[in-house]
Amino acid sequence: MKLLMIHVWNGSERSYRGRFSNLLSYPSLTLAVIYSLIPEGVFEQIDLIDENSQRVSYDKEKYDIVMLSFDTSSSLTAYKHCDEFRKRGSYIVCGGYHATALPDEVLQHCDTVICGPAEISVPEFVRDFSAGEPKRKYRNYNVCPADFPMPARNKITKRRKLKIPAVVADRGCSNCCKYCSMRTMWKSDPRPVESVVNEIKSLKAKMVIFYDPNFFGKREYALELMRALKPLKILWASNATADFGYDHELMQAAYESGCRGVLIGLESLNSQSLTGVGKRFHQADKYKEIIDNIHSHGMAVNGCFVLGFDSDTEEELLALPERVDRLGLDLCRFAVLTPYPGTKLFEEFEKQGRLITRDWSRYNQHNAVFTPVNFSAERLDEIYRIVWKKAYSWRRVLKRTFSSPWRKNGYVFILLGANIGFKFLGIDKRFRK
Ligand code: SF4
């Protein structure tokens, strides 16, 4: 039997990332993980396509099974692939965030849907398929993190990608932000430290990126992991929440274990907006202090902001680039608030009749897909583009890079490259239309 696995990316997302995409994307960990879950000896051929850098061809081979993993913004592209491969006689299996949130919709385009984590469901499906009895739906969250197999990274393409491997220690988060789709897929359940360390040792890499949505969320676990990372002498970065910036013991341990940067979803400088979406544990008036603290421990901060919360006003959002300057971030990112299916925010907006489209390809954090409170959806789109453009003027790119504490550590070219990469994320192009 022949199996094809596709990590689906929609075309507009690829063009959004533009010519600097290889500065900003990592090899697909999803494909490497799913490959490692396929029982040995069942398939004589397994092919992988990461659509971020490879094309899908329907007629190159005849596959018995095609497995696709995708998020909401790529779901329409995925449905096209499903329908085409189905016409050619393949059995279609879908998984990922969108399939977990809307399994019945996804089942209209496939034969089996896998909801939630893949670790138990994928091998179970393969066994059932081999026995001629595949089920329509699989959903099993009883995954033990100690049993995660080693991702089959040697099977995935690294062409046109950052050469930094991604690792996950805890893929869940115990917080409850209303807009977060992460929570629909995973619960917080960290892997044994020894298993994370063994995986990193096997990579023989000098730098890794932790995909954990909240690396420091379980403080004692994070400290134990960082103690174990220290002798490996690697450099690493991950996601954090703002409270990391108050905890000097944690910051010191992070630096000593090789952490040189954190990405924080600061989301808003308006405390009412933060409270409104369940992010009470962030205090906007403390952001400057937190960023200074993290800098003083030798780490850079990439701050992410979301535009379109109910308490946001046009004036406040338009002033964001100047206010971000004052925070002294090393890198910043902006996104339009997106109510992903499966989240509390989606339920709320649906009940309130505020969703303006179900064109999932627009659920990509670059378009307003709901009616905001204080301005129109069209105006939110405009504000979003203005904010990106202002925040990534050449003056700001250079100022952010050369006033960063990171420049003293010799990482100035990485920071400059990242700032320039973000400048050309395609947002700019839309302005020139
Ligand atoms: S802190 Fe981050 S990962 Fe955790 S629930 Fe909130 S948005 Fe999601």
Q: Is the CB of 265 under 6 A from ligand 1?
A: yes
Q: What is the pLDDT of residue 425?
A: 74
Secondary structure of the chain in the HEC alphabet?
CEEEEEECCCHHHHHHHHHHHHHHCCCCHHHHHHHHHCCCCCCCEEEEEECCCCCCCCCCCCCCEEEEECCHHHHHHHHHHHHHHHHCCCEEEEECHHHHHCHHHHHCCCCEEEECCCCCHHHHHHHHHHCCCCCCEEECCCCCHHHCCCCCHHHCCCCCCCCCCEECCCCCCCCCCCCCCHHHHCCCCCCCHHHHHHHHHHHCCCEEEECCCCCCCCHHHHHHHHHHHHHHCCEEEEEECHHHHHCHHHHHHHHHCCEEEEEEEEECCCHHHHHHCCCCCCCHHHHHHHHHHHHHCCCEEEEEEEECCCCCCHHHHHCHHHHHHHHCCCEEEEEECCCCCCCHHHHHHHHCCCECCCCHHHCCCCCCCECCCCCCHHHHHHHHHHHHHHHCCHHHHHHHHHCCHHHHHCCHHHHHHHHHHHHCCCHHHHHHC
Q: Is the CB of 188 under 6 A from ligand 1?
A: no
Please determine, looking at this structure, whether the domain spanning 2-143 carries the CATH number 3.30.2310.20. Answer: no
Fold match between domain 2-143 and domain 164-432: no
Residue ranges of domains in the chain: 2-143, 164-432
Q: How far is the CA of 395 from the centre of ligand 1 (A)?
A: 32
**pLDDT for 200-242, tens place per residue?**
999 999 999 999 999 999 999 999 999 999 999 999 999 999 9
Mean pLDDT, 10 residues at a time, over the chain (433 residues)? Answer: 95 59 70 95 95 90 97 97 98 97 98 96 97 97 88 78 85 92 85 96 94 96 98 97 96 97 96 90 93 96 97 96 95 96 96 97 95 97 95 95 82 88 69 40
Candidates 3.30.2130.10, 3.20.20.70, 3.90.1150.10, 1.10.3720.10; CATH matching 164-432: 3.20.20.70
Q: How far is the CA of 289 from the centre of ligand 1 (A)?
A: 21
Nearest ligand 1 atom to alpha carbon 179: 7
- The residue to mutate among 97, 183, 273, having the most atoms of ligand 1 within 8 angstroms of its beta carbon, is 183
* Model confidence, pTM: 0.92
